[in-house]
Amino acid sequence: MLAQALADTLKRRGIHYAWFVAFICFLTMLTSSAALGLPGVLLRPLGKEYGWDVEQISSALALRFALYGLMGPFAALFIDRYGLRKVISTALVLVCTGMLLALPMTSLWQLVVLWGLVLGLGSGLTALVLGAIVASRWFEARRGLVIGMLTASTATGQLVFLPGAAWLVEHYGWRASIAPVCLFAALVITLALLFMRDRPEDLGLIAYGADPGSVAAAPAAPAAAPADSAARRHAPLTAPLQALRELRGNRTFWILFATFFICGLSTNGLIQTHFITLCGDFGLSPVPAASVLAMMGAFDLCGTIFSGWLSDRYDSRKLLFWYYGLRGLSLFWLPHSQFTFYGLSIFALFYGLDWVATVPPTVRLAGAAFGKERAGMAFGWIFAGHQLGAATAAYGAGATRSLLLTYVPALYAAGTACLIAALIALAIRRPGAGAPVAGAAPGPAGAAAAQHP
C-alpha cells in the first residue's frame, strides 16, 4: 500500500503524513481556484469569436460562483459519506469535463451549462470546507497555520496559472489555455487516489500535535473512526437546510453573512472575473494585466497567512474593519491609477494583501459565536454568502460594462460596499462575551473552522 509505505518513510525522517495530506488538499484547492479564475482571461476572446457581450458571458460565470458557494454546506456531507478521495476525484473530473466539453461549443446555453453548472458543482466540492475538514481531522497543533495556508491556495492558483494562460490565449487561442489546468487536475486526481486518506487512524497514526498519551491509536492497525462518524455518514441531505433555518434568527450570523457577501462581491466576482477586461479598456494587454493579478496573488499569499497569525492574537472584528476599509479605498483608487506600472503596483499591494485575508478572522468569529462543534455548518452558509456576492458582482459588473461601456461605476459601488462592511463588522458581538449560540445545528465540518492553536 503506497500510502502506508510513504507514511512510514516520512515518519522515519521526522515528518508527519498530515503535511502530505495537506499538500494534496492545497493542490486540489489550487486547481479549483485556477479553473474558477481562468474564464476571466477569456472574456474578450469568447466575445470576439462568438459575438457574445460581457453581460451574456458573465451570466454563466455568475451561476458558477453561486453554485460554488451553495455547494459548501453540502460538500461536508458528501465527504463524510463518501470519503476525501472520492469527493476530490469526482470534483476535479467535473471541473475537467466542464472545461473540455466547452472546446467545441457553439451556443451560449452550452457555456452556461458547462462553465456555469458543471464547473460550479465541481469546484464547490473543493471549497473552503474541504480545507477545514482536512485541518480538523489531521492537525491538532498548527491548525490555524494550516487553514491560512489552504485558504491562500486560491491566490496561488491565480499566481501560477493566469499569466501563462494569458500568454497562451495571445499566441495560440483561448482553447490552448485550458490544457495546463486539465493536465494539472489529472496529476492531482492521481495523487489523491493513491495517497489521500480520510483520517490519521487509517494509517495507524494520530493527528499532528496530538498527545500520544490521550489518543488511542494502534500503531499496527487503523483505529476506529470517531464515535459520531457513523451518524454523520447517514445525515440527511436536508441537514444544511435545517441548520440554516436554525441560524436565521441569529444577528451575528447575518452580519458575518453580509460582510462575506461584500467580500465576494469585491474580490472573485469583480476583480478576478473582470480585471483583465477592465485593463483592456484602458489599453493594457492581457499578459501584463494577468501579471498584475499574479502580483496580487503573491501579496495575498503572504497576507492571508499573516492574517491567520494576527487573528490568533488580536480582535478579529477590528482586523475585518481594517481589511474591508483598505480594500474599499484601493477600489476607489483603481480608476485613478491611470493603469501604469506604478499605479497598478500600489493597487496590487493594498488590494492583494487582504484579498482573502478576511477568511481567518471570519472563521475565528464564527467559532466564537457558534462553538467549535457548530461553526462548520455556520461557516459553510457564511461562505455561501461570499459566493452569492461574487455571483452578483460577476453579472452586475458585466451588465455595467455592456450598458455603460465602463466598469468604473461597479468599482465605486464595490468600494462603497467595502466601507459599509468595515463598519458593520464592528457591530459583531465581542468574542467571548457570553456562551456560544445554541441555535446552530452541528455540522459535518465540525470544529475545523473554529479552532486556531
Segment 39-69, tens digit of pLDDT: 878 888 898 899 888 888 888 888 888 888 8
For the chain, give the percent of residues with pLDDT over 70.
87
Whether pLDDT at 357 is above 80 = yes
For the chain, give the percent of residues with pLDDT over 90.
32
CA–CA gap between residue 26 and residue 152 (Å, rounded) = 9
CATH number at residue 77: 1.20.1250.20
Q: How confident is the model at residue 352 (pLDDT cuts 50, 70, 90)?
A: confident
144-161 residue pLDDT tens: 678 778 877 876 776 678
**Structure confidence at residue 375 (pLDDT):** 65
Of the candidate ranges 21-30, 140-149, 313-322, the one whose mean pLDDT is the lowest = 140-149
CA–CA gap between residue 359 and residue 267 (Å, rounded) = 12
23: how many CB neighbours lie within 10 A of its CB?
13
Query: Does 293 map to a domain?
Result: yes
**Structure confidence at residue 33 (pLDDT):** 83
Q: How confident is the model at residue 217 (pLDDT cuts 50, 70, 90)?
A: very low
**Structure confidence at residue 28 (pLDDT):** 92
Q: Which residues contact 96 (CB under 8 A, 6 or more apart)?
A: 181, 182, 185, 186
CA distances, 192 to each of 71, 123, 185, 188, 224 (Å) = 21, 16, 10, 6, 22
Q: Is 47 helix (H, G, I), strand (E, B) or coil?
A: helix
Beta bridge partners of 208: 139
Query: Residue 324 in contact with residue 421, Cβ under 8 Å?
Result: yes
Phi (first) and psi of residue 216, to 5 degrees: -85, 105
Domain range for residue 402? 2-425
Query: Does 445 map to a domain?
Result: no
Whether pLDDT at 452 is above 60 = no
Q: What is the mean pLDDT of the chain?
A: 83
Set of cell numbers at residue 248: 436565521
**Structure confidence at residue 436 (pLDDT):** 43
165-185 residue pLDDT tens: 889 998 899 999 999 999 999
**Structure confidence at residue 373 (pLDDT):** 58
Q: How confident is the model at residue 253 (pLDDT cuts 50, 70, 90)?
A: very high
CA atoms within 13 A on the CB side of 5: 3
**Structure confidence at residue 439 (pLDDT):** 41
414-432 residue pLDDT tens: 999 999 999 999 998 775 5
CA distances, 299 to each of 210, 356, 413 (Å) = 32, 10, 24
Query: Does 199 map to a domain?
Result: yes
Whether pLDDT at 440 is above 50 = no
Quote the pTM value: 0.76
Q: How confident is the model at residue 213 (pLDDT cuts 50, 70, 90)?
A: low
Query: Does 439 map to a domain?
Result: no
Considering only residues 307 and 434, tell me which one the structure prediction assigns the higher pLDDT.
307
107 burial (CB, 10 Å; 0-12 / 13-18 / 19+) is exposed
**Structure confidence at residue 290 (pLDDT):** 84
**Structure confidence at residue 188 (pLDDT):** 94
- Residue 412 CA to its chain's centroid (Å): 24
Of the candidate ranges 7-16, 43-52, 335-344, 355-364, the one whose mean pLDDT is the lowest = 355-364
CA–CA gap between residue 151 and residue 362 (Å, rounded) = 12
Q: Which residues contact 352 (CB under 8 A, 6 or more apart)?
A: 155, 295, 296, 297, 298, 299, 300, 303
Whether pLDDT at 218 is above 50 = no
What total number of domains does the chain contain?
1
CA–CA gap between residue 422 and residue 415 (Å, rounded) = 11
